Amino acid sequence: MCHAQGAEHREACTHTHTHSSVGLQEVVVVIQSQRNSYHARRSEQRKEEILQQAAEEGKGRPVVVLLHELTEYEGDWSILPALPHLFATYGQLASWFIFVEEETRLRLAALLRVLHRYPEHEEWFLGRGLHDDGASIIHHYAFSEDPSSFTYPDPSAGWAVSKPLLKRLAVRLQHESLKSDFTIDLHHEIALYVWEEGNGPKLTAVPEFCSQMRDNCATSFTTFLPDCGEPVPKTDVFVAVKTCHKFHHDRVPVVRATWEKDAGFLEFYSDVSDSSIPTISLGVPNTERGHCGKTFAIMRRFLSGAVPRADWLLIVDDDTLVSLSRLRMLLRCYDSREAVSLGERYGYGLLHKGYSYTTGGGGMVLSRVAVSRLMSSGCSCHSDDAPDDMVIGRCFTSLGVPITHSPLFHQARPDDYSGKLISSQQAISFHKHWNVDPLAVYKHWLKDDLPRDEL
């Protein structure tokens, strides 16, 4: 093995190792699986496909790890907490660690050809590069002077790290805290952690890491919106919109003009009753932030006989835009008899056994079973203005109910995400009317052109 120091030696080192001899048995594939039964099944199918393909290739057998089975800790989805365990378990034998989504397809022969280009004794961070088109709130306005200067991996195309890099990250993670307690956009945050303000490698863009299949691709992505059969009926989804008096005349009309007509059952919940909309007052005063009291009152009402019985509850803000037709397609994949909490998943304190939650602005989808378990558990708000999404997430974590992630829900506006990424999605939601025309956002990103009776 070459341990040369300095730029000229490193170049010579690289040259002598241009044709690395890594076999599949030195590759660990980590499928970013989830605990929910639908996702566990999908990731198991993907694992079987990979191992079957390896058997047919006859070039060794990779280790395939389902992330949700790695340890008991639910926060492993955020990758960084899992790295020390991954290295301790597989670092002796592995040269490369490949991270893929459950809907990412691998072509193992092409993957080996890619890995053979990069000397495995050096630090490498490989993937399909994304960058921000403008300064983004979800990335804390990082690199705001030149957002395109920093690239991070497209999760759907998969990404890879070499063993030396994984080893260094695993050691760092055991000795230091993260700059933020929040996990918001996982792959941007991983890239920042790897880069370490210039002390670590930047992402190396690899053309064979693909989101759409082409001839030479080592990875490709199948779908963000799986086809699990007929969409669930409109009447299976009860929609609760949180509003307040000051937004009755600007935000509520946007909901009415865009997606309300696709709802089977929908109610507006406010701090005052207004028969012209109509809104319902739940007896909870409006709070400037948090809204925990209001959200718990909505969940109590959902379980009462006061509203039509439905399998699913969608709770959104009055400035959330939603495609209910796509949501109903997605919900067909899930078993409403399970406790399901679905949406855009964030994390709090995950490096130190924290908890995950479905972020409220993108929309929180709960099965009736999940709402029942939550309300009968004794979990409650410590104040009306506590952050409802985080309180609910902490409750579900203590109850062992997994927070299930879909990248189709968005806490922010389309402009806050990489255009390369969201243009390939069929988004379910976006949030905030700030500096955008919400009617135009809905029409461009969320409105389906099919006749309504076909959706």
State the Cα–Cα distance between residues 348 and 353, nearest whole angstrom. 9
Report residue 147 CA to chain centroid gap: 21
This prediction's pTM: 0.92
Which of these three, 179, 199, 221, is where a domain ends?
A: 221
Q: Of the candidates 253, 248, 225, which has an alpha carbon nearest to the alpha carbon of residue 328?
A: 225
Instruction: Tell whether 277 and 397 lie within a shared domain.
Output: yes
CATH of residue 361's domain is 3.90.550.50
With respect to residue 197, please indicate whether it lies within any of the assigned structural domains.
yes
Q: How do the pLDDT tens digits run along the chain, 455 residues long?
A: 343 333 333 333 443 345 568 899 999 999 999 999 999 999 999 999 999 999 999 989 999 999 999 999 999 999 999 999 999 999 999 999 999 999 999 999 999 999 999 999 999 999 999 988 877 777 777 776 777 789 999 999 999 999 999 999 999 999 887 778 999 999 999 999 999 999 999 999 999 999 988 889 999 999 999 999 999 999 999 999 999 999 999 999 999 999 999 999 999 999 999 999 999 999 887 777 778 999 999 999 999 989 999 999 999 999 999 999 999 999 999 999 999 999 999 999 999 889 999 999 999 999 999 999 999 999 999 999 899 999 999 999 999 999 999 999 999 999 999 988 898 899 999 999 999 999 999 999 999 865 444 44
CB 122 within 8 A of CB 115: no
State the Cα–Cα distance between residues 409 and 308, nearest whole angstrom. 25
Supply the pLDDT for residue 139: 75
Q: Of the candidates 416, 401, 418, 309, which has an alpha carbon nearest to the alpha carbon of residue 364?
A: 401
Supply the pLDDT for residue 455: 42
Instruction: Tell whether 252 and 207 lie within a shared domain.
Output: no
Instruction: Tell whether 105 and 129 lie within a shared domain.
Output: yes
Instruction: Tell whether 197 and 338 lie within a shared domain.
Output: no
With respect to residue 355, please indicate whether it lies within any of the assigned structural domains.
yes
Instruction: Tell whether 198 and 308 lie within a shared domain.
Output: no
Supply the pLDDT for residue 12: 34
With respect to residue 1, please indicate whether it lies within any of the assigned structural domains.
no
With respect to residue 89, please indicate whether it lies within any of the assigned structural domains.
yes
With respect to residue 32, please indicate whether it lies within any of the assigned structural domains.
yes
With respect to residue 227, please indicate whether it lies within any of the assigned structural domains.
no
Instruction: Kindly give, in sequence order, each residue whose CB lies less than 8 Å from that of residue 281, ignoring residues fewer than 6 positions away.
Output: 269, 270, 271, 272, 273
With respect to residue 451, please indicate whether it lies within any of the assigned structural domains.
no
Instruction: Tell whether 81 and 109 lie within a shared domain.
Output: yes
Supply the pLDDT for residue 3: 39
Which of these three, 171, 188, 221, is where a domain ends?
A: 221
Instruction: Tell whether 194 and 330 lie within a shared domain.
Output: no
Supply the pLDDT for residue 11: 35
Instruction: Tell whether 322 and 362 lie within a shared domain.
Output: yes
**Residue 281 parent element (H or E):** strand 279-281
State the Cα–Cα distance between residues 378 and 376, nearest whole angstrom. 6
Which of these three, 193, 221, 249, is where a domain ends?
A: 221
Instruction: Tell whether 29 and 98 lie within a shared domain.
Output: yes
With respect to residue 13, please indicate whether it lies within any of the assigned structural domains.
no
Instruction: Tell whether 192 and 334 lie within a shared domain.
Output: no
CATH of residue 177's domain is 3.90.550
How many structural domains does the chain have? 2
Instruction: Tell whether 144 and 245 lie within a shared domain.
Output: no
What range defines the domain where residue 284 resides? Answer: 234-446
Instruction: Tell whether 189 and 256 lie within a shared domain.
Output: no
Supply the pLDDT for residue 137: 74
Tokens 């709090």 belong to residue: 348
